[in-house]
Amino acid sequence: MTSQTIRVELGTRSYDILIGEGLLAQAGERIAAVLPGARVALVTDENVARIHLETVSASLERAGIGVTTVVVPAGEASKKFDRLQEVVETVVGARLERGDAVVALGGGVIGDLAGFAAAIVRRGMRFVQIPTTLLAQVDSSVGGKTGINSRHGKNLVGAFYQPQLVLAATDALDTLPRREFAAGYAEVAKYGLIGDAAFFAWLEANWQDVFSGGPARTEAIARSCQAKADTVAADERETGERALLNLGHTFGHALEAACGYDADRLVHGEGVAIGTALAHRFSVELGLCPAEDAERVERHLQAVGLPTRISDIPGGPLSADELMTHIGQDKKVKRGRLTFILTHGIGRSFIADDVSPERVRDFLQRELST
């Protein structure tokens, strides 16, 4: 059985990411070792609860950990104020203390929601992530970003709040639909495209093994988590280089918002895939990136089954004006200036401040016509 441990170095707030099989059944003993004597509020969604709640609850009980469970509807719509209030009131009503823990069992939505609740109840409780999707294991569960959505945009209300432990059970990914696994893979590929051309080349050669499971899957997750851990350790609150992790996200978040966060049309990782391809093509248009690199990125994303064009999104047409409105709400906007993650080629992404809105709008108009 292949397993790995990645350490996120943040001084007194450092923590481990455990990656491997069987971690759901070991959750109780792993949490008890890090948080002895703690009781927990276990937050999950209806879909994950049907598959994994019994295993994790039994593990917690075997370890002598008292459990209060909160189950919310699945999907992005649960990242909102009324669901946050539901979680908070349940935790407070269970008389959990600051030394107790909120445990997130699920994908990125659950991790963001539960983590934000942990950050604000009693001005900060302990927090554990048990991510059950590929996207959450390699991205949202690591680094301390928590929050909910506003009607004005995605992730606009939240806090930086680090977990005490992350348990990434690779065998939990076997239950994912292929579409959802592929969506998470967009975030894996991102790490190679940001600053590790050799990792991207490894993914081109090994992606089928990553999808099928086994050592290649564990290796891909571990390398992704190490890349994010290194970035977070250097820039925890995204005042500088951590913004590179948003490659593809400025375009992607705008596409998600324009689709009304309708998962039938577009899920987050698919938005990131299209956004990543757009960022590379926009970089080519600006004379920053070789066209062959953008074409190589697009070929690989298409090979694994991800969309790369706005026209790949089903449903009604989108407009450049609407997309620009959502881009203007992006968290990286500073005093009205647009910031994008662009690239000089595979593995050579950079932060571009003060990107011309007119150039972006013109680019999107052309993309929408293809």
Q: Residues annotated as binding site for Zn(2+)?
A: 187, 249, 268
Q: Which helix (H) or strand (E) holds 119?
A: helix 108-120
- Are 228 and 143 within 8 A, CB to CB? yes
Distance CA 30, CA 62 (A): 12
Would you list which residues are annotated within the binding site for NAD(+)? Answer: 108-112, 132-133, 145, 154
Query: What are the angstrom distances between the C-alpha of 353 and each of 66, 234, 330, 339, 357?
Result: 49, 20, 13, 5, 11
CA–chain centroid gap for 333, Å, is 20
Distance CA 246, CA 231 (A): 12
Catalytic-labelled residue, pool 21, 187, 236, 270: 187
Catalytic-labelled residue, pool 30, 83, 223, 242: 242
Query: Can you tell me whether residue 332 is helix, strand or coil?
Result: coil
Is 236 among the catalytic positions?
no
Catalytic-labelled residue, pool 39, 217, 249, 281: 249
- Are 275 and 269 within 8 A, CB to CB? no
Is 326 among the catalytic positions?
no
Catalytic-labelled residue, pool 180, 236, 238, 367: 238
Per-residue 3-state assignment (H helix, E strand, C coil) for 302-317: HHCCCCCCHHHCCCCC
Specify the length of the chain in residues.
370
Cα angle value 114/126/84 (rounded, 5°): 25
Is 238 among the catalytic positions?
yes
Is 149 among the catalytic positions?
no
Catalytic-labelled residue, pool 79, 83, 126, 253: 253
Task: Provide the 8-state DSSP code for 319.
Answer: -
Catalytic-labelled residue, pool 39, 79, 223, 246: 246
Catalytic-labelled residue, pool 126, 228, 281, 331: 228
Distance CA 31, CA 38 (A): 9
Query: Can you tell me whether residue 259 is helix, strand or coil?
Result: coil
> β-pairing, 15-20 with 338-343?
unpaired
CA-closest candidate to residue 49, choices 29, 85, 78: 78
Is 52 among the catalytic positions?
no
Q: Which helix (H) or strand (E) holds 16?
A: strand 15-20
Catalytic-labelled residue, pool 123, 151, 335, 358: 123
Catalytic-labelled residue, pool 30, 39, 126, 145: 145
Phi/psi at 38 (nearest 5 deg)? -75, 145
Would you list which residues are annotated within the binding site? Answer: 108-112, 132-133, 145, 154, 187, 249, 268
Distance CA 28, CA 61 (A): 7
- Are 284 and 290 within 8 A, CB to CB? yes
Task: Provide the 8-state DSSP code for 175.
Answer: G
Is 344 among the catalytic positions?
no
User: What positions carry a catalytic annotation?
Assistant: 123, 145, 187, 228, 238, 242, 246, 249, 253, 268
